[in-house]
Structure 1
Amino acid sequence: MLMVLTMISTTANADPDDFFSPFVSGSYNYDSNFFRLQNDQAAMARLGTSNMAESYFQFTAGAKVNWHISRQLIKAKAEVNRTRFNKYKVLNFDGRDTMLQWDWLIGSALSGDVGVSEKTAQGSFVNIQQPINNLITLKRAFFHGGIELGAPWKLKFGVEKSDSTNSLASQNTLDSTVNTYNTGLQYQTRKGSLLELTSQMSDGRYPNRQIVGLAPVDNGYKQWDNGIQATWEPSGKIKLLGHLNYTQRRYADVPQRNFSGVTGLLSANWQVTEKTGLGLLVYRDIGVVENTTASYSVNRGVTLTASWKATDKVAFNLNVAQSRIAYTGDPGFVLSTGPAREDKLSTLQAGVSYAVLRNTNLGVILQRGVNQSNQDLLSYRFNSVMLNLRSVF
């Protein structure tokens, strides 16, 4: 990374798309129910106090790089962050986010990307519900390629490896390695619309067994996703994107929780005027959960967004979302007669950003959330505020 930054800073007559862009940011965050507890009684049991609020500061510094070498492009990112809590200082942590990628091109027919990334961040408190720190480190390596078969056809292929580890011993059953292999045949029209037939296989492995009752359970699985995806712009102001898959997930140890069904998403964006935009997202997918009682969840939901650029310096945005989260990947559920956990989460988020200077933005985000669960003590409400100042050089 250091060598790349040094060469970019000393190279004369660089490509106009090349850049070295440092950035810094600082934010103040407040959450009225940081540990997502149902009521005062639950807070007393978990925290020893009925005060469920917490606030914290986060400071971030880093840089992004684009560097062209002939027809090749090198991309890099390096970021470090520090989070300091007001009340629960045991949760203080330092995180990082790094990435190195090569967008390669060979002749006129072969292209793709290869790279690695690593990120360390704090895990969610939705299921832990107490001030215990769990840092999740996600490492990813990938290679994607494409072969031009002659307009308008293109053959695509790729392989990825993702490793996730948890610092908290009680969460190490969630440590995993997922290897993914995919291929597709793409058709592109003269106007830029895309239609692609896709096929993907994922092999998930969990090195640490989960104990259900007295039996160790292997959460390893194999998953197949076969379907289509498309991008269509019927006009200069409307863009539609979607993919539809038939997904199958199979478990060797607990086949009762196998999944088969339709997954996918539909996204629509409409630039109503030069200053106003609307968006819609509808989805159903299999999600990764930070929960030792389930290795996956089936999520379905809808999100509505609106944006308005009031002036050259001031912009507003609004986000309304509702999702249903079914923890059908819980082996305890399939080995008992009780119902699987299911949550309905509704959120309303409003934000405003102000360009203080040409390269500095001040932003405020307000959010309210309500979660309703069919399990005891898992429903909750929260309000949060984030004030952020960010500069890009």
Structure 2
Amino acid sequence: MPASSVLHRLPPVALLAGAFWLPSAAAATPPEEGMQLLAGIGWAHDDNLLRQVDGAPAFDGQRSDSYRTLEAGVVYNKRISRQRIAATAKVSKVAFDHFDQLDYDGRDLQATWFWDIGSQFEGHLKGLSIQTLAPYTDFNSDQRNLREQRRQEFDAGWNMHPSWKLRVGAARDKASYELAIQRFNNRTEKTFETELLYQPRTGSAIGLVARRVKGNYPYRRPFIGSVLLDDFTQDELKLRVNWLASGATTIQGLAGYVRREQPSYGEGATSGVNGRVSAFHTPGGKISYNAAVWREFAPIESPFVSYTLNKGASIGASWFASAKVTVEANAIYERRSYTARGDFAGADALRDAIRSASVRAVWQVRPKVQVVAACVHQARSGSALLGTGKFDANVVQVGANVLF
């Protein structure tokens, strides 16, 4: 269910030590039946680990640091008649060379039941719990700030006609933070949606999606002698499109009208076009391409505000250098507006932009053994009114993982 999960709205380059070691979509082999053990090891160096602003004094006189990641876990995949169970349980240990107060134990627990009843009814039930270090992109501190994310989701579809499908879904996302100063970003989002989907024989599809998202922030954010109520209600009516434009090009999108009510941020509500459109081009060679544009609301891990309205674009390419080596390159530009109530004098001071670029190489040494290397660049322009400034950061990562 592609709802407003916090997992889908992470910053372009988050400080998520260990997340980099996930298998490449291009290189990964199909999951095997039964249970497999997994293990991984990695090393990374970040020249601005805590995303310190240019010209500001560095924490402990140092901006850069290296960290090591060890991972271990279990992967389970089993088909029982028409049902399928997929689960992953992974733990990690991350240790920093200099800022050792950030050392932490992470976890990634996920399980999904893909259910199927006859030829007309299908769907899935999923739960996950992830604990990792929150990014420091919008938070100035050298203290450890663990983020715990939990999600439960249910999706059910009724194939009421060979070309028509009715689908309903619900999800609950919860995010909580370790540091007291970040507790104002603790939140629970509940999403309910229904969709009428038309799927002609061409393989393309178009659906009408109606969705409501209710957000609750249990801790009120202090603001100039008062408190801000970050709770919100967001109603959406969108078109979902999966268009097979040609044998090599696919265009996917979920976009339409959105109305968001959040009382603490001005009278009335924010409304307008919102969504994301992606394109994938895979010609008959060794290179494939992808691109996306979006305009959508997203939570932000800032002490001052709870959400931004983001407008962005990305472009990427994958080069299948050989049967075992894949190289992926991506560039992202995203402009964030901290007030969505419209333009006014001084509104530019409540905006910033984040740029990121990455190159990632995956060597599939054996069907169950991967070696991965990546370089990442991230830069933020800063918001003068919020007191955030410009920074640049560069990360180099190498690692290996194995299934057995």
Q: Determine whether 1:240 maps to 2:270.
A: no
- Post-superposition Cα deviations, 1:249-284, rounded to whole Å, max 9, x if no partner, equal 102344448421211111111112332111111111
Which consecutive unaligned segments of at least 5 residues does structure 2 have?
A: 1-30
- After superposition, the C-alpha distances for 1:306-362 in whole angstroms (9 at most, x for unaligned) are 1111122222221122111112279xx99x977653112222211222233332121
Amino acid at match of 2:83: Q
SS of equivalent residue, structure 1 residue 90: helix
- 2: distance between equivalents of 1:300 and 1:19? 43
CA-CA distance at 1:69 after TM superposition: 1.9
2:57 to 43, 53, 56: 43
Output the CA distance in 1 between the equivalents of 2:32 and 2:118.
21
Compare CA radii of gyration and give the structure with the larger one. Answer: 1
Q: Deviations over 1:202-241 (max 9, x none)?
A: 1111111111111122211100111101101133321111
Pick closer, same or farther for the CA change 1:213–1:203 going to 2, 3 Å.
same
Partner residue, 1:8: none
Letter in 2 for 1:344: A
Please tell me whether the aligned partners of residues 367 and 384 of structure 1 are also in contact (alpha carbons under 8 angstroms).
yes
The runs of 5 or more residues in structure 1 that have no matched partner are 1-15
Count of matched residue positions in the alignment of Structure 1 and Structure 2: 371
Residue 287 of structure 1 aligns with an amino acid whose one-letter code is: A
> Which amino acid is 1:157 matched to?
V
How far did residue 81 of structure 1 move? Answer: 0.9
Paired letter, 1:197? L
1:354 corresponds to which residue? 363
What is the rounded CA distance, in whole Å, between the counterparts of 1:318 and 1:338 in structure 2?
Answer: 34
2:287 aligned partner: 276
Distance 1:313 1:254 in 2: 51
Contact 1:295/1:329 (<8 A) preserved: no
**The residue matched to 1:373 in structure 2 has which SS?**
coil
- Cα drift, residue 76 of structure 1: 1.2
Higher deviation after alignment, 294-303 or 60-69: 60-69
1:215 to 2:226 alignment: yes
Partner of 1:183: 194
Q: For 1:275 and 1:38, how far apart are their aligned partners in 2?
A: 40
**1:28 match:** 43
> How big is the alpha-carbon RMSD for the aligned residues of Structure 1 and Structure 2?
2.2
The equivalences for 1:78-89 within 5 A come to 78-89=89-100
Aligned to 1:13: none
Give the aligned partner of residue 369 of structure 1.
378
Q: Which residue of 1 aligns with 2:298?
A: 287
Q: TM-score, normalised by structure 2?
A: 0.87
Specify the SS of the correspondent of 2:245.
strand
Q: Does 1:156 align with 2:170?
A: no
Residues 64, 329 of structure 1: CA spacing in aligned structure 2 closer, same or farther, 3 A cutoff? farther
**TM-aligned CA distance change 1:244 to 1:126, over 3 Å:** same
**Identical-pair percentage:** 25
Q: 1:102-158 deviations in whole A, cap 9, x for unaligned?
A: 111222211111122111111111122221111111111111111111121111101
Q: Aligned residue for 2:135?
A: 124
Between 1 and 2, higher relative CO (CA 8 Å, sep ≥ 6) is seen in 2
Alignment partners' CA distance in 2, 1:267 and 1:17 = 30
Alignment partners' CA distance in 1, 2:327 and 2:122: 39
- C-alpha distance in structure 1 between counterparts of 2:125 and 2:363, whole Å: 37
Confirm or deny that 1:137 pairs with 2:152.
Answer: no
Equivalents in 2 of 1:25, 1:329: separation in Å?
Answer: 42
